[in-house]
Amino acid sequence: MNPKIILALLVLLFPLAASAISSNDAVNFIVNTNHFLYDAETYTPPNVSVHYGESDYWVIPITAGKDIVTYFPVNSKTGTLSVSKADNRALFTLANNLRELQLIKESITPNSGIDWIFTQKYQTVFSEMSLQISDEIYQLNTVETALKGKGITADLGGMKAQLLSMSATSSSIAKKIADSSQSENDFATKPSEETFSEMNDSFKGVFDSINSLNSTFLSYNSQRNKLKQQISIADLEAQEKSQLSAILDIPPSLQSLGNYNINSQQISEKLNSSLQETSLRMDSLLDEFSNRMLKNDVYDLIYADNEKIKKDTPFNSLSEARSGILSEQQRSLWENQTKVNQLEQDYSRALKFYGEKNFESANTYAATAIDDAIAVYKRGQKPPVAGPAISQDFLFQAAGILVVLLALLYVFNNRGKIKGAITKEPEEVNLYG
């Protein structure tokens, strides 16, 4: 291929690859970037995305112990959280059905008394059963010929028709099991409403066919027992009776058909029960998702940067505004003391209801606390208090005191000269020249 064409294709494909959101990216968005979860809860990174409508989603299950609390569906292309209740109902149902299928298969152990039937093993079992049933037609012909040779009339046409039907049904079941196994794999690797419907229908087709085969076999077996009874009382040698009776023995694969049918019905009941459980729990899962969305909104209202706060105050968030306004140094300085007290009360109530998981009330009080903080800041702080006026008399008195103090200071600094002047003897005057 032309190198320029290859380069052009890479340029076209690179933005698509770069925009794809991985399972880990989706988990990080839900668990670390936001505040949807509680401390004791766990999550399981999804291995496959769920397809619904025109998009694929990473549907992240949140669990408390072994129980699913809710799911978080993240668009695998845009990285946004799906908030449509109708879409989420479908996405949650698909994710839960996939999880239940995995749990059912994990619960089937050698000691459980149940065997997962949609495997190569059972495909071979029913394929071989079809061949063995076909051989039974030959055995019936042998019995019919032997009885006619002894002048004994036996109408085996109905039994032959039943064997033909069972052989065809067994062969059909083998193919249906192969198709069901593929449908199961398609759903497990590419879960969608289409792949789930195909898997569910294919499973039901196998269950119904095995049950129908078992019903036909029970009817055939009843006719077979009547034939053996007829042979046992016929005018035949004991050895001939024994030989003909042995020919009519049920082949090994058909002997286990009853157990296969029980096994099939038990799996069917488990799957139906899980589907019913999913349906019953869906409303609670969706309600909890809505509750977690509100939890995250309240957390952001309290602690995250808030455009309303940032626009009207120097603070970035409600928690920062509350700390600044209600600090010990600032609290008494605000003009609107009523709103200061209201801010403290509303903020405390928001935290209280948040801790009690009453997020609707917490949201209401957090929003009110934001308005309180803005109202406090807009009114501003109290003007500084002016000191008392100084009277003119006071100024004269102060000036007099200052003069006295200066005089005293002068005297103190010049005390030597003054003392000398006082103690100096007067000079003698020569009167006589």
DSSP letters, 168-207, are HHHHHHHHHHHHHHHHHHHHHHS-BHHHHHHHHHHHHHHH
Last residue of a domain, one of 63, 86, 109: 86
* C-alpha 29 chain-centroid distance: 12
Shared domain check, 124 and 60: no
pLDDT reported for residue 390: 59
Q: Is 72 exposed, middle or buried (0-12, 13-18, 19+ CB in 10 A)?
A: buried
Rounded distance between C-alpha atoms, residue 34 and residue 265, angstroms:
45
Last residue of a domain, one of 216, 231, 255: 255
Is position 315 within any domain? yes
Shared domain check, 130 and 185: yes
Rounded distance between C-alpha atoms, residue 156 and residue 137, angstroms:
10
Count of CA atoms in the C-beta half-sphere (13 A) of 192 = 10
pLDDT reported for residue 397: 77
Shared domain check, 81 and 164: no
pLDDT reported for residue 6: 45
CB-CB contact of 204 with 264 (8 Å): no
Q: Which domain holds residue 340?
A: 305-379
pLDDT reported for residue 149: 82
Q: What share of the chain is helix, strand, coil (3-state, %, to 5)?
A: 70, 5, 25
Q: What are the pLDDT tens digits along the chain (433 aa)? A: 454 444 444 434 433 344 489 999 999 999 999 999 998 899 999 999 999 999 999 999 999 988 999 999 999 999 999 999 999 999 999 999 999 999 999 998 878 789 999 999 999 999 999 999 999 988 888 888 888 888 888 888 999 999 999 999 999 999 999 999 999 999 999 999 999 999 999 999 999 999 999 999 999 999 999 988 888 888 788 888 888 888 888 888 889 999 999 999 999 999 999 999 999 999 999 999 999 999 999 999 999 999 999 999 999 999 999 999 999 999 999 999 999 999 999 999 999 999 999 999 999 999 999 999 999 999 999 887 655 555 666 667 767 787 677 767 766 667 666 665 555 555 444 434 4
Structurally, how many domains does the chain consist of? 3
What residues form DSSP beta bridges with 328? none
Six token digits for residue 419: 């003392």
CB-CB contact of 163 with 137 (8 Å): yes
Is position 286 within any domain? no
Is position 145 within any domain? yes
**Torsion over CA: 49, 47, 200, 90 (sign):** negative
Shared domain check, 129 and 243: yes
Shared domain check, 320 and 375: yes
Is position 245 within any domain? yes
Shared domain check, 129 and 79: no
Last residue of a domain, one of 379, 397, 415: 379
Shared domain check, 349 and 240: no
Is position 385 within any domain? no
Shared domain check, 76 and 22: yes
Is position 401 within any domain? no
Q: What is the distance between the terminal CA atoms of the chain, rounded to a whole angstrom?
A: 145
Shared domain check, 312 and 232: no
pLDDT reported for residue 60: 97
Shared domain check, 251 and 166: yes
Shared domain check, 173 and 51: no
Six token digits for residue 338: 């009523």
pLDDT reported for residue 13: 42
**Torsion over CA: 47, 53, 55, 58 (sign):** negative
Is position 15 within any domain? yes
pLDDT reported for residue 19: 47
Shared domain check, 125 and 53: no
Q: What dihedral do alpha carbons 240, 242, 245, 250 form, nearest 10°?
A: -140
Is position 31 within any domain? yes
pLDDT reported for residue 155: 82
